[in-house]
Chains A and B, each alone.
Chain A
């Protein structure tokens, strides 16, 4: 019996020694870069960008660990406000989800912008719609694409859940704050699935972030009032349907790793990477675009 016990103790001690050795060794071996752990979670629209930034940040700073998670904007805001994570990713301003007191404690870092494009199934045969036509389509006033200059094909609405940031942005800027008719539309909580549904259902119409269209799926992106949904048009202020992507911290970031990570995401060098993934860079927005937003 006692023999067994000593063996267990010895093994435990050995393991402890190895762990301690590693920690001590690594903190001495590498002095370049930042060390520490960053926990970021929230918006699934922003997640791909955060993940890719985290990967390259960890390559540059081998002593740092960045944990990235989805979960949705609501989760991200709640958790950063509770202090359980360092950075809360959100498609929406904190004031739109949290009560005033908790929202006022959060500091906003606008790391990117997301443009949202209406997309239609090829059978619909429309390339451009006016704002009024879009509203008519999404409120069920018109039910056939030929009524708005397309083919003779029934309109099938596809939307995102009521709590989705993408949907909130689309309804606010593309539909002029008109609520779309969710009791007449198919719904999916995933933009990838939405694209697949648009491809397969004749006459389907939906909306996704531009970042989902970089792979050239077989759908038609629709211009609004003749303005094509491109980053250039967002920057010059002519395309209105976009939102900021926020990374919230509770107060100004104190941890060195959090500071460095946010700095990297907002850096000039990282801009091309951001645009390559289909997101926009907030600093490139013209004054006109900024002023007319909201």
Chain B
């Protein structure tokens, strides 16, 4: 009897150690990656003596591409603006559809919503981004070209935003639907009891009550959109200038990194500038994640 207990305790301890080790490894890996990015990314400012201002707010992009040779220009504003505008436009396109779908599958027709709509939406998440990109490049880009006849043939901010909108749609929809579902039934009953119509209940009671959760979905979607490289790179045109309008091409952070990371000389100014762009993406996603936590905690406090 004693032996059995001892064995159980021993195996308990062993597994505890294994899980702690696994957990610590993941934490250490994240920290290491962050530290590495911070080190590599800051070299543009430390080793190559560029100012943070130049990197963030100027658009002269001509870094030198040879190990140990500095003195070019590293203004990345074109890429930063490109990333921000495509993400925000994607959000604008996606949000009405996402919230509408979330309301439909929770408030209007929960049965169909839970059985068909939600699984159908979730399938979107598992489609690899190259498929979206390919679809965008072979169908969406020619479509834009044929409708609007832009000078550079369909590769545009609009195409990138639409592709991104489709990609973040499921995230925002499912998270919003969960948030709406968690609004207590008594809120609705109270509102109906006061004589509100269904539209009033949804618009004035349920959505405001679920707004914290919806915002979490929006930020999760944004985080995915800002980090997406492949699909955007295939349709944005990667022109290294600001977009004159929605139909003109531009570039963004992720495509610029992906385009040049392999061919640039390591330790060269060009390579370092790309690392700095990677660091910027890392910082953006950390800020977004902190925002999510803040939102979640804020809701608990209420």
Q: In the assembly, what is the distance between CA of A172 and CA of B67, in Å?
A: 21
Give residues of chain B (261-286) contacting chain A, Cβ–Cβ below 8 Å: 261-268, 270-271
Q: Which of A78, A162, A165, A200 contacts B260 (CB 8 A)?
A: A162
Are A70 and B237 in contact, with the CB atoms below 8 A? Answer: no
Flag whether A148 is at the interface (Cβ < 8 A).
no
User: Contact flags (1/0) for B226-253 with A, using CB distance below 8 Å?
Assistant: 0000000110011111000000010100
Q: Which of B251, B259, B266 contacts A78 (CB 8 A)?
A: B266
Are A186 and B152 in contact, with the CB atoms below 8 A? Answer: yes
Residue ID in chain B nearest A72 by CB atoms? B262
- Point out the residues of chain A lying under 8 angstroms from B267, CB to CB: 78
Q: In the assembly, what is the distance between CA of A197 and CA of B155, in Å?
A: 10
User: Contact flags (1/0) for B143-162 with A, using CB distance below 8 Å?
Assistant: 00100000111110000000
- Point out the residues of chain B lying under 8 angstroms from A161, CB to CB: 238, 259-260, 263
Q: In the assembly, what is the distance between CA of A66 and CA of B234, in Å?
A: 32
Given A97-B65, A98-B265, A163-B260: A154 in contact with B151 (beta carbons within 8 A): yes
User: Contact flags (1/0) for B126-140 with A, using CB distance below 8 Å?
Assistant: 000000000001000
Flag whether B66 is at the interface (Cβ < 8 A).
yes
- Point out the residues of chain B lying under 8 angstroms from A186, CB to CB: 152-153, 155, 237-239, 249
Flag whether A189 is at the interface (Cβ < 8 A).
yes
Q: In the assembly, what is the distance between CA of A72 and CA of B258, in Å?
A: 11
Task: Tally A residues with Cβ within 8 Å of B.
Answer: 37
Q: In the assembly, what is the distance between CA of A204 and CA of B151, in Å?
A: 11
Q: In the assembly, what is the distance between CA of A183 and CA of B82, in Å?
A: 13
Are A74 and B263 in contact, with the CB atoms below 8 A? Answer: yes
Are B263 and A72 in contact, with the CB atoms below 8 A? Answer: yes
Are B265 and A204 in contact, with the CB atoms below 8 A? Answer: no
Are A163 and B270 in contact, with the CB atoms below 8 A? Answer: yes
Name the distance in Å between B146's Cβ and chain A's nearest Cβ.
11
Are A182 and B240 in contact, with the CB atoms below 8 A? Answer: yes
Flag whether B110 is at the interface (Cβ < 8 A).
no
Give residues of chain A (148-199) contacting chain B, Cβ–Cβ below 8 Å: 154, 156, 161-165, 182-189, 193, 196-197
Are A188 and B239 in contact, with the CB atoms below 8 A? Answer: no
Flag whether B34 is at the interface (Cβ < 8 A).
no
Q: In the assembly, what is the distance between CA of A185 and CA of B239, in Å?
A: 5
Flag whether B212 is at the interface (Cβ < 8 A).
no
Name the distance in Å between B276's Cβ and chain A's nearest Cβ.
16
Main secondary structure of the interface of A (DSSP, over half): mixed
Name the distance in Å between B285's Cβ and chain A's nearest Cβ.
23
Are A156 and B238 in contact, with the CB atoms below 8 A? Answer: no
Are A204 and B153 in contact, with the CB atoms below 8 A? Answer: yes
Name the distance in Å between B13's Cβ and chain A's nearest Cβ.
15
Are B263 and A165 in contact, with the CB atoms below 8 A? Answer: yes
Flag whether A202 is at the interface (Cβ < 8 A).
yes
Are A71 and B265 in contact, with the CB atoms below 8 A? Answer: no
Name the distance in Å between B85's Cβ and chain A's nearest Cβ.
17
User: Contact flags (1/0) for A76-110 with B, using CB distance below 8 Å?
Assistant: 01100000000000000000111100100000000
Flag whether B203 is at the interface (Cβ < 8 A).
no
Q: In the assembly, what is the distance between CA of A162 and CA of B69, in Å?
A: 16
Give residues of chain A (30-77) contacting chain B, Cβ–Cβ below 8 Å: 44, 70-75, 77
Flag whether B68 is at the interface (Cβ < 8 A).
yes
Are A97 and B67 in contact, with the CB atoms below 8 A? Answer: yes
Are B238 and A188 in contact, with the CB atoms below 8 A? Answer: yes
Residue ID in chain B nearest A182 by CB atoms? B240
Are B152 and A156 in contact, with the CB atoms below 8 A? Answer: yes
Given A163-B263, A189-B258: A183 in contact with B241 (beta carbons within 8 A): yes
Q: In the assembly, what is the distance between CA of A87 and CA of B151, in Å?
A: 44
Q: In the assembly, what is the distance between CA of A162 and CA of B233, in Å?
A: 16
**Further pairs besides A44-B262, A186-B153: 15, Cβ < 8 Å:** A73-B263, A74-B264, A74-B265, A74-B266, A78-B67, A97-B265, A97-B268, A98-B67, A156-B152, A161-B260, A184-B241, A186-B155, A186-B238, A187-B238, A188-B238
Jot down 20 A-B pairs with beta carbons below 8 A, ordered by A.
A71-B262, A74-B65, A75-B262, A96-B66, A97-B265, A99-B68, A156-B152, A161-B260, A163-B65, A163-B259, A163-B264, A186-B249, A187-B239, A187-B240, A188-B238, A197-B155, A200-B142, A200-B153, A201-B152, A201-B155
Closest 5 CB pairs of A and B: A72-B262, A163-B263, A201-B153, A183-B241, A187-B238
B: which residues have CB within 8 A of A? 7, 65-69, 137, 141-142, 145, 151-155, 233-234, 237-241, 249, 251, 258-268, 270-271
